[in-house]
Amino acid sequence: MSAYRPPKIASSEITPQQAYLRRRAFLIGAGGAGMSAAFGSSSWAEGLAATKSNYTVDEKLTPIEDVTTYNNFYEFGMDKADPAALSKDFKPRPWTIKVDGMVAKPQTFDVDALIKAFPPEERVYRMRCVEAWSMVIPWDGFQLSKVLDAVEPLGSAKYVAFETVVRPTEMPGQNATFGSLPWPYVEGLRLDEARNPLTLLAVGLYGETLPNQNGAPVRLVVPWKYGFKGIKSIVRITLSDKQPLNTWQAANSGEYGFYANVNPAVDHPRWSQATERRIGEGGFFSSSRHPTLPFNGYADEVASLYSGMDLKANF
Ligand SMILES: Nc1nc2c(c(=O)[nH]1)N[C@H]1C(S)=C(S)[C@@H](COP(=O)(O)O)O[C@H]1N2
Ligand SMILES: [Mo]
């Protein structure tokens, strides 16, 4: 770890994405093949219509083309277009998730058994990346709390740690020796955050099996936090009494914290968090700006989790 050099998010990532838009124009111009390839042939969604849920925001959905071609998934590369382009050989099945640590009933779940046990519901959530762009995404998934209930957390458990798969043969970004992240990508939540009804394990989007670039087969969605908390392609969930490490905080603790609650009043050291660029809105070469909301608009549901806490110190 000592030789490790933390990556920096390039400032180009927070200015209009001309390069991305050019690449996207190319991808779209190359025909619909890319889109249908994004969704594998075997789909849990076939014959399993996700129930609509009340946890839905009434905002214009980000087009699926943007949701599936403008991604952060450093295991497949650092450019926004890399995950869609370089994840075609990734194999999201068969897949198991080991849930262990401070629980009465540690278990290894097959992802399709989980989907059967906890039929996905649709949730339209805002998603706000720490890089000051945002989307509105219809996820299909189930509450993380259902999985936690199944393993029976001990009274001593206070935190939940998550781990992404390590598969350098299928994830070219895991072979990068310079400028990328240490693997596995890890994240963590407080147990009460993990049990909040908003906290979702997503297995699909737009009613389809989750595309590889979005974190197949199962990824975390914590809509009141910056996007980096939404760890992808999860293989392990561990309950503990110690605050777990998270990858971006480990990479640069001055810029990224453990909590990462969306907060327009606490700027990133290198850019404002007061507004966000809504991807896919406002024309082809620009995106419209929206004000960023405290807790990404979910304050009614989650602000009480942090009562008495200094949100500037615990960023
Ligand atoms: N394993 C892993 N999970 C990850 C990332 C990553 O690089 N690796 N990027 C995070 C970041 S910074 C964001 S904004 C979201 C992006 O999710 P999306 O590409 O589905 O929009 O995934 C998060 N989860
Ligand atoms: Mo992000």
**How confident is the model over 214-225, as pLDDT tens digits?**
999 999 999 999
Is the model's pLDDT at 307 over the cut of 80? yes
Is the model's pLDDT at 24 over the cut of 50? no
The alpha carbon of 230 and the centre of ligand 2 are apart by a number of angstroms equal to 8
Question: What is the atom index within ligand 1 of the atom nearest the CA of 185?
Answer: 1
What is the residue with the minimal CA distance to atom 1 of ligand 1?
Answer: 232
Instruction: Provide the pLDDT confidence category of residue 8 given band limits of 50, 70 and 90.
Output: low
What is the residue with the minimal CA distance to atom 19 of ligand 1?
Answer: 71
Distance separating alpha carbons of residues 65 and 69, to the nearest angstrom: 6
At 178 the pLDDT is 72
State the chain's maximal CA–CA distance in angstroms. 55
At 288 the pLDDT is 83
Is 229 a pocket residue for ligand 1 (Cβ < 6 Å)? no
Greater model confidence, 16 or 310: 310
Distance separating alpha carbons of residues 163 and 99, to the nearest angstrom: 11
Distance separating alpha carbons of residues 315 and 305, to the nearest angstrom: 14
Distance separating alpha carbons of residues 162 and 84, to the nearest angstrom: 23
Distance separating alpha carbons of residues 142 and 154, to the nearest angstrom: 22
Question: Which has the minimum average pLDDT: 11-15, 52-56, 174-178?
Answer: 11-15
pLDDT tens digit sequence for 54-93: 689 999 999 999 999 999 999 999 999 999 999 999 999 9
Name which of 230, 227, 232, 229 is nearest 215 in CA terms: 232
Instruction: Provide the pLDDT confidence category of residue 1 given band limits of 50, 70 and 90.
Output: very low
Residue range 27-31: mean pLDDT, rounded: 37
The alpha carbon of 155 and the centre of ligand 1 are apart by a number of angstroms equal to 31
The alpha carbon of 177 and the centre of ligand 2 are apart by a number of angstroms equal to 21
At 16 the pLDDT is 35
At 23 the pLDDT is 37
Greater model confidence, 313 or 27: 313
Which residues face 138 on adjacent strands? 124
The alpha carbon of 51 and the centre of ligand 2 are apart by a number of angstroms equal to 28
Which of 228, 231, 235, 245 for a ligand 1 pocket mutation test, highest count of atoms within 8 Å of Cβ? 228
The alpha carbon of 21 and the centre of ligand 2 are apart by a number of angstroms equal to 18
What is the residue with the minimal CA distance to atom 6 of ligand 1?
Answer: 73
Cβ proximity of 162 and 134 under 8 Å: no
Is the model's pLDDT at 108 over the cut of 50? yes
Cβ proximity of 73 and 216 under 8 Å: no
Question: What is the atom index within ligand 1 of the atom nearest the CA of 164?
Answer: 1
The alpha carbon of 137 and the centre of ligand 1 are apart by a number of angstroms equal to 14
Question: Which has the minimum average pLDDT: 106-115, 234-243, 281-290, 302-311?
Answer: 281-290
Question: Which has the minimum average pLDDT: 24-38, 40-54, 97-111, 189-203?
Answer: 24-38
Which residues face 180 on adjacent strands? none
Instruction: Provide the pLDDT confidence category of residue 44 given band limits of 50, 70 and 90.
Output: low
Question: Which has the minimum average pLDDT: 21-35, 109-123, 230-244?
Answer: 21-35
Question: What is the atom index within ligand 1 of the atom nearest the CA of 83?
Answer: 19
Question: Which has the minimum average pLDDT: 185-199, 258-272, 273-287?
Answer: 273-287
Is 71 a pocket residue for ligand 1 (Cβ < 6 Å)? yes
Question: Which has the minimum average pLDDT: 35-44, 140-149, 152-161, 302-311?
Answer: 35-44
Q: Please name which ligand lies nearest the alpha carbon of 72.
A: 1
pLDDT tens digit sequence for 156-174: 999 999 999 999 999 999 9
Is 228 a pocket residue for ligand 1 (Cβ < 6 Å)? yes
At 55 the pLDDT is 83
What is the residue with the minimal CA distance to atom 23 of ligand 1?
Answer: 228
Greater model confidence, 2 or 164: 164
The alpha carbon of 229 and the centre of ligand 2 are apart by a number of angstroms equal to 8
At 52 the pLDDT is 58
Name which of 209, 115, 242, 111 is nearest 165 in CA terms: 111
Domains of the chain: 11-306 (3.90.420.10)
